[in-house]
Amino acid sequence: MALSDPTCKNAKPKEKPYKLADEKGLYLLVKPNGSKYFRFKFRFAGHEKVLALGVYPEIGLKQARDKRDEARKQLDSGIDPSLTRKIEKTGSAENTFAAIAKEFMAAKPNWSESHRKHVNECFERDVFPWLGNRPLKDLSAVEVLATLRRIVDRGAIETAARTKQFIGQAIRYGIATGRAERDVTADLRGALPSPVRGHYPAITEPKPLGQLLRDIDAYKGGFVVRTALQLQPLIFARPANLAAAEWAEFDLEAAEWRIASDKMKMKDAHIVPLSTQAIALLRDIQPLTGNQQYVFASNQGQNGEKHISRESIGMAIRRMGYQGQHTAHGFRTTASTLLHEQGFHSDMIERQLAHAERNRVKAAYNRAQHLAERRKMMQSWADYLDGLKNGAQVIAFKKAG
């Protein structure tokens, strides 16, 4: 039964504290000394929490319910009301964009670890150096646009669009927690080049593909990025997965790369059979990074706790003069196109691309049935690429039986 004003007023103290329940998590806590406190019980990120709403009768029942409803709205928006209260007490010291962006990320417990890392990397690399120390309430659309244009200028249009989205999410979190009044990214509609959705430039003709492979081998950049460049055509993984590949995921004796479901776009664990050429590249880089977490460890981190950016491969391809012709993600289109032309079964190719199968029964069948065939397909594909790279006559390679 819901509380009433007379019930609150007439509640008498007892030997031990006790609660009088209202609705939707609100209750009145009555202490042995006669003090009465409104409390709101809620769950956030799987943990039970309690928010103090005030002392009765200074705070009446209606006011307590209004505060409870306000807290419930914050919960619906994925915000911890107790964190908001803490922010209110600490004042402006934590009102910079960087501080609020970090709180925003912490308030998203259901994010996958790979997505959390990606958002954090975008902030740390492209936003915090220019906007991190700015008070959120003073942030202007002009400042945000200047920051995003730095990303566009290096050719990373998709990343600029995603970063604008992340900045807007952090600002809206700041609005919800009372430290900003409006989302200035809304003023930037149309100010950035529009990324082409659903299409990545890709070379799908054998002869220019052979030239690209030769250019990759001759790439003058760092050894770590060059090795990632050389591996990508062989395995045609998503660039983010390759950049974040960990040595613990590889079994070189079994010739497999096993990627956990929380790293995959479709949340489905994935196995990549490794050709002899792919294993040779991994063994070549192993003396350099094999004692670290990541295969493609970044020299910006310490002891390999950071890896190269998901953009590193694409940036290298652009530096080689393939802007608008090919991308790191484009190797997936290249492989899909040519493997289909060579007669490999669509289910096998789609499974190797880690595209989701909507029919769960069929998906389980595909996982069970196609690994052995995919091993043969990946080795045939690697041999075919070697032939193109070495300038051999371009002929259709035979499907491994």
Active site residue 329: yes
Q: How is domain 206-389 classified at the architecture level of CATH?
A: Orthogonal Bundle (1.10)
Q: Pseudo-torsion of CA 202, 195, 232, 123, nearest 10°?
A: 170
Domains 5-76 and 93-188 share a fold: no
Decide if pLDDT at 360 tops 70.
no
pLDDT for 365 equals 47
pLDDT for 84 equals 67
Decide if pLDDT at 194 tops 90.
no
pLDDT for 88 equals 56
Query: DSSP for 269-309?
Result: -EEEE--HHHHHHHHHHHHHHTTSSBTTB-TTSSTT-SB--
181-194: average pLDDT: 88
pLDDT for 148 equals 93
Whether CATH 1.10.150.130 fits 93-188: yes
Query: For residues 90 and 234, which has the higher predicted lDDT (pLDDT)?
Result: 234
Decide if pLDDT at 49 tops 50.
yes
Note whether 122 and 162 are within 8 A (CB): yes
23-52: average pLDDT: 90
309-314: average pLDDT: 88
pLDDT for 47 equals 80
Number of other residues whose CB lies within 10 A of the CB of residue 186: 11
Query: For residues 257 and 341, which has the higher predicted lDDT (pLDDT)?
Result: 257
Decide if pLDDT at 303 tops 60.
no
Note whether 67 and 57 are within 8 A (CB): no
All residues at 6 or more sequence positions from 22 whose CB lies less than 8 Å from its CB, including other chains: 2, 3, 28, 61, 64, 65
Express as a percent the part of the chain with pLDDT over 90: 50
pLDDT for 392 equals 59
Length of the chain, in residues: 401
Q: How is domain 5-76 classified at the architecture level of CATH?
A: 2-Layer Sandwich (3.30)
Express as a percent the part of the chain with pLDDT over 70: 86
- Confidence class of residue 302 from pLDDT cuts 50, 70 and 90? very low
Q: Active site residue: 332, 351, 370, 374, which one?
A: 332
Is residue 239 reached through a cis peptide bond, with omega within 30 degrees of 0 on the bond before it? no
Decide if pLDDT at 227 tops 80.
yes
Decide if pLDDT at 85 tops 90.
no
377-393: average pLDDT: 89
Q: Active site residue: 238, 263, 306, 326, which one?
A: 238
Active site residue 265: yes
Active site residue 332: yes
- Confidence class of residue 359 from pLDDT cuts 50, 70 and 90? very low
106 is written with which tokens?
A: 């912490």
214-238: average pLDDT: 94
Number of other residues whose CB lies within 10 A of the CB of residue 172: 17
143 is written with which tokens?
A: 């400042």
387-398: average pLDDT: 67
User: How many angstroms separate the CA atoms of 389 and 207, rounded?
Assistant: 9
* Domain ranges across the chain: 5-76, 93-188, 206-389
Q: Active site residue: 265, 345, 367, 376, which one?
A: 265
User: How many angstroms separate the CA atoms of 54 and 36, rounded?
Assistant: 9
197-204: average pLDDT: 73
275-292: average pLDDT: 96
Decide if pLDDT at 197 tops 70.
no
Each residue's pLDDT tens digit, 65-76: 999 999 998 888
- SS3 per-residue string spanning 94-151: HCEHHHHHHHHHHCCCCCCHHHHHHHHHHHHHHHHHHHCCCEHHHCCHHHHHHHHHHH
Q: Active site residue: 319, 355, 362, 398, which one?
A: 355
Active site residue 116: no
Each residue's pLDDT tens digit, 163-178: 999 999 999 999 988 8
Q: Active site residue: 36, 329, 351, 389, which one?
A: 329
152-165: average pLDDT: 82
User: How many angstroms separate the CA atoms of 55 and 62, rounded?
Assistant: 13
300-326: average pLDDT: 80
Decide if pLDDT at 137 tops 90.
no
User: How many angstroms separate the CA atoms of 127 and 176, rounded?
Assistant: 21
This prediction's pTM? 0.54
Query: For residues 261 and 248, which has the higher predicted lDDT (pLDDT)?
Result: 248
